[in-house]
Structure 1
Amino acid sequence: MTQYAAPRTRSAPQRRPGSPDGSSWRVPTALLALMIIPLIAGSLRLLEIAGGPQVLPTNPRIDASPAPLVLHVAAAAVYAVLGAFQFSARVRRGHRAWHRRAGRVLIGAGLVVAGTGLWMTLFYPGAPGGDLLWTARLVAGSAIATSIVLGFTAIRRRDIAAHRAWMIRAYALAVAAGTQVFTQGIGEGIFGTTELSTGLSVSSAWVVNAVVAEWAIRRPGVRRARRARAAAAGT
């Protein structure tokens, strides 16, 4: 008796753990939306420095030495916009060469952001926020630079997980200006515009972003994806 094999059915493609789906662009879009107000404010400040109309409140510290701010704003714009697309899994996996080239640009831009931020903290006198915010800016700028360097050394030794974690930390701290729009507005709206309230409300944005970054790095779905990739590599 002749046996006939059952027709083979095509199974649905299985999604790899942590692979992108329709939500691949949600994180980049959210990051760009978060930074839209600081990017507009920075652009208006650069326009003023270039001789355009004054729209923002005057700042004697910037007027006396505008070069660090110009570098800071330009580098921050590159870092914020280009860096947002590094969070798209579709871009990382489908355009690896672009991801690597953009990463090199981001390392330079991020170090400029951190370096100019530290310079302005140390040499721009009389910034609002008092000693608390002065210290927070030093810590944040140093942490951004350190995270970028550690992320670079991690990818050099092919430690992708560590590279990803350090670059997430650096980006989260660098884009805290977007979060500060909310924390400063809420804090000063409730407690007024004292040195202490300004220092606390602005500094809290770095804390919020650092907590969110650690959650993104350590969330269960990411850990499962790492274990699955490690198991696949070992077979």
Structure 2
Amino acid sequence: MTTTAAPTPPPGGATPLRPTGSPRTGRSGRAGRRRRRAPAWVVPTSLIAFSFIPIAVGSVRMVSLTGAVDVSDTLGAAPAPVPALVAHVVGITIYVVLGALQFHRGLRARRPRWHRWSGRVTAPAGIVAAVSGVWLALAAVGPHANSVLVVTRVLVGAGMVVALVLGVRAAVGRDFRHHRAWMVRAYALGQGAGTQVVVVGVVGSAMGGALTPLVEAVLFAAAWGINLAIGEWSIRRG
């Protein structure tokens, strides 16, 4: 039988060099190749900035109720029930701003109590915004109303309420994985106005501003669809 001689240790008792393909080197190599995350403030800041235009437009419409300004020609705003408009603007403003802060990883980890208490404000504000949005959509029903868009807005408002209720229910049951998923979906629907400004603005400019009621409804639905797709991607990405 042939025996293999053991490797001779280097002089002075030095530790032999570890082979290039050793597990430790492999682990460090994988760690070095890991994709770096963006800073925690990027997502919430971007979401708040994205909400600025629709919040500003809603605030101007609310101020117009006092008679100080007339925005009917500029915004093409149809008459709306005053309580519904005020509830929607106030509710959605609180919802998108506080909701954006919930996406700050470090804030959730370091301030869990703040996360819980702000969530108790964010969820009801989202429900108020969704219900008042449905109210505004139904109030716009008339001979010249875009019926497809009205139905779409009602479905989105109802879906947002369902997502918020399921998210709160999951949190109460300490099912935080489903809580996060449903809250992300609800926020995606609540952020529809910001995406609609971009989608409708770009397509409207390309078409010279002439949008048929059906095209307008499709663009609004596409904006909500884009938000939901991004939300689902973030849920699966974890």
Cα distance per residue 1:114-166 (max 9 Å; x no partner): 11111122222249772321221121111100000000110111000000000
| Post-superposition offset of 1:68 | 0.3
Identify which of 133, 137, 156 aligns with 1:117.
133
**In structure 1, C-alpha distance between the alignment counterparts of 2:172 and 2:191, rounded to whole Å:** 25
The question of whether the paired residues in 2 share the 8 Å contact of 1:46 and 1:70 is answered with: yes
Does residue 76 of structure 1 match 2:92? yes
Q: How does 1:1-235 map to 2 (within 5 A)?
A: 23-55=39-71, 56-57=74-75, 59-62=77-80, 65-126=81-142, 130-191=146-207, 192-219=210-237, 222=238
Q: Per the alignment, do residues 53 and 123 of structure 1 end up closer, same or farther by CA in structure 2, a change over 3 Å counting?
A: closer
| Post-superposition offset of 1:171 | 0.4
The question of whether the paired residues in 1 share the 8 Å contact of 2:141 and 2:147 is answered with: no
The question of whether the paired residues in 2 share the 8 Å contact of 1:118 and 1:138 is answered with: yes
Between structure 1 and structure 2, the one with the greater Rg is 2
**In structure 2, C-alpha distance between the alignment counterparts of 1:103 and 1:127, rounded to whole Å:** 40
The question of whether the paired residues in 2 share the 8 Å contact of 1:187 and 1:197 is answered with: no
The question of whether the paired residues in 2 share the 8 Å contact of 1:75 and 1:113 is answered with: yes
Q: Per the alignment, do residues 130 and 22 of structure 1 end up closer, same or farther by CA in structure 2, a change over 3 Å counting?
A: closer
Q: Per the alignment, do residues 200 and 119 of structure 1 end up closer, same or farther by CA in structure 2, a change over 3 Å counting?
A: same
The question of whether the paired residues in 2 share the 8 Å contact of 1:129 and 1:199 is answered with: no
| Post-superposition offset of 1:46 | 1.3
> In the comparison of the two structures, how many residue pairs are matched?
200
**In structure 2, C-alpha distance between the alignment counterparts of 1:145 and 1:74, rounded to whole Å:** 17
The question of whether the paired residues in 1 share the 8 Å contact of 2:84 and 2:135 is answered with: yes
Q: How much identity, in percent, do the aligned residues show? A: 37
**In structure 2, C-alpha distance between the alignment counterparts of 1:144 and 1:46, rounded to whole Å:** 23
With normalisation by structure 1, the TM-score equals 0.80
Q: Structure 1 regions of 5+ residues with no counterpart?
A: 1-14, 223-235
With normalisation by structure 2, the TM-score equals 0.79
Q: Per the alignment, do residues 177 and 129 of structure 1 end up closer, same or farther by CA in structure 2, a change over 3 Å counting?
A: farther
**In structure 2, C-alpha distance between the alignment counterparts of 1:132 and 1:83, rounded to whole Å:** 29
**In structure 1, C-alpha distance between the alignment counterparts of 2:221 and 2:143, rounded to whole Å:** 14
| Post-superposition offset of 1:21 | 6.4
| Post-superposition offset of 1:54 | 2.1
